[in-house]
């Protein structure tokens, strides 16, 4: 039954630009339309029609930000009879109209694809925006550390604790690009992203200058070429919320959106609560659009 449900989910993805026939979905899932709707709502926590609408507007949102087609072309492609109807639906989901989103690169909401296993993945929204950036430089203190998927990274903690506080204050003043302030930058990760593989970690700032002459002694500069970045935000217990964000981006957001990762550093800005238990975080990942089929 789970395989049949997942086939129905794949059928939805193939028909986002057309009419999704729920009767055909039920036939694929080997059940009645009524039972499919009830079962989907119970498992996913939302009506089937709402999921289809949110998936359409997720993919449409990526096209709005890319600027490759007119807003009316996108509206018609995803089944809206007019630009006004598309704008209303777009604003309801994303909190901003498509024209403003295109002009400002506003943060949008992504509805991940659902996958039915022993649990349901993708039934929560992720907030993101896509940004085109000119070249910049990561300037900061560098260490080679292991990748840790869950729980504290002791090597990282020890490295940061050993940094001179005055040098960090000096470094912070060099920040002149988003994300502002001291950031955590990961580069040269193993393609497998397996637990324990090593990466270059920078406790750094983002600067426009290729080689800041006033940088503290012992810092390293990492030039970053122009490119597109997907920016995600989260809040919650530290470090779990941040680690879960990283996980969810790769297991849910990328499979559900027309982007793929590209080589480049991954940048995390974190603000901790006074007791260090809660965190607000912003994650910047280098991305590029998938080629159209």
CA-based torsion, 206, 127, 265, 105: positive or negative: negative
Of the CATH numbers 3.30.720.210, 3.20.80.10, 3.40.640.10, 3.40.50.620, which one belongs to the domain with range 133-289?
A: 3.20.80.10
pLDDT in tens, 104-148: 989 999 999 998 875 555 555 678 999 999 999 999 999 999 988
Cα of 104 vs its chain's centroid, Å? 18
Beta carbons of 75 and 85 less than 8 angstroms apart: yes
Distance CA 55, CA 284 (A): 23
Mean pLDDT value across the chain: 89
pLDDT of residue 120: 54
Beta carbons of 163 and 141 less than 8 angstroms apart: yes
pLDDT of residue 180: 94
pLDDT of residue 16: 92
For residue 293, pLDDT beyond 60: no
**pTM score of the predicted model:** 0.71
pLDDT in tens, 64-73: 999 889 999 9
Stretch among 32-36, 171-175, 196-200, 274-278 having the lowest mean pLDDT: 32-36
CATH class of 2-111: mainly alpha
Indicate the domain borders of the chain: 2-111, 133-289
For the chain, helix, strand, coil in percent to 5 are 40, 25, 35
Q: Residue 5 — pLDDT band, cuts 50, 70, 90?
A: confident
Element at 25 (helix H, strand E): helix 22-28
pLDDT of residue 43: 74
> What distances in angstroms separate CA 283 from CA 44, 198, 259, one per listed residue?
27, 20, 16
Distance CA 262, CA 1 (A): 36
pLDDT of residue 124: 59
Six-digit token string for 289: 């659009």
pLDDT in tens, 161-201: 999 999 999 999 999 999 999 999 999 988 767 778 899 99
Six-digit token string for 117: 């296993």
């Amino acid at each position: 039954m789970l395989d049949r449900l997942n086939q129905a989910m794949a059928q939805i993805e193939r028909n986002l630009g057309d009419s999704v026939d729920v009767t055909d979905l039920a036939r694929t899932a080997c059940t009645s339309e009524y039972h499919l709707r009830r079962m989907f709502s119970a498992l996913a926590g939302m009506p089937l029609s709402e999921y289809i609408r949110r998936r359409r507007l997720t993919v449409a949102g990526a096209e709005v930000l890319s600027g490759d087609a007119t807003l009316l072309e996108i509206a018609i492609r995803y089944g809206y009879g007019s630009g006004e109807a598309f704008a209303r639906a777009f604003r309801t989901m994303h909190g901003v109209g498509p024209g403003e989103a295109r002009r400002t690169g506003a943060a949008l909401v992504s509805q991940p694809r659902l996958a039915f296993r022993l649990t349901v993945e993708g039934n929560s929204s992720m907030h993101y925006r896509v940004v085109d950036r000119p070249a910049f430089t990561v300037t900061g203190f560098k260490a080679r550390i292991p990748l840790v998927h869950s729980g504290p990274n002791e090597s990282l903690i020890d490295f940061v604790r050993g940094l001179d506080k005055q040098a960090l204050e000096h470094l912070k003043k060099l920040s002149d690009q988003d994300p502002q302030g001291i950031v955590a930058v990961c580069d040269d990760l193993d393609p497998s992203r397996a637990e324990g593989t090593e990466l270059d970690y920078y406790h750094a700032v983002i600067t426009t200058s290729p080689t800041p002459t006033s940088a503290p002694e012992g810092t390293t500069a990492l030039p970053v070429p122009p490119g597109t970045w997907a920016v995600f935000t989260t809040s919650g217990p530290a470090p779990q919320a941040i680690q879960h964000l990283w996980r969810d981006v790769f297991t849910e957001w990328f499979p559900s959106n027309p982007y793929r990762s590209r080589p480049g550093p991954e940048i995390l800005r974190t603000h901790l609560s006074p007791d260090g238990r809660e965190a607000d975080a912003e994650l910047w990942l280098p991305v590029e659009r998938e080629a159209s089929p």
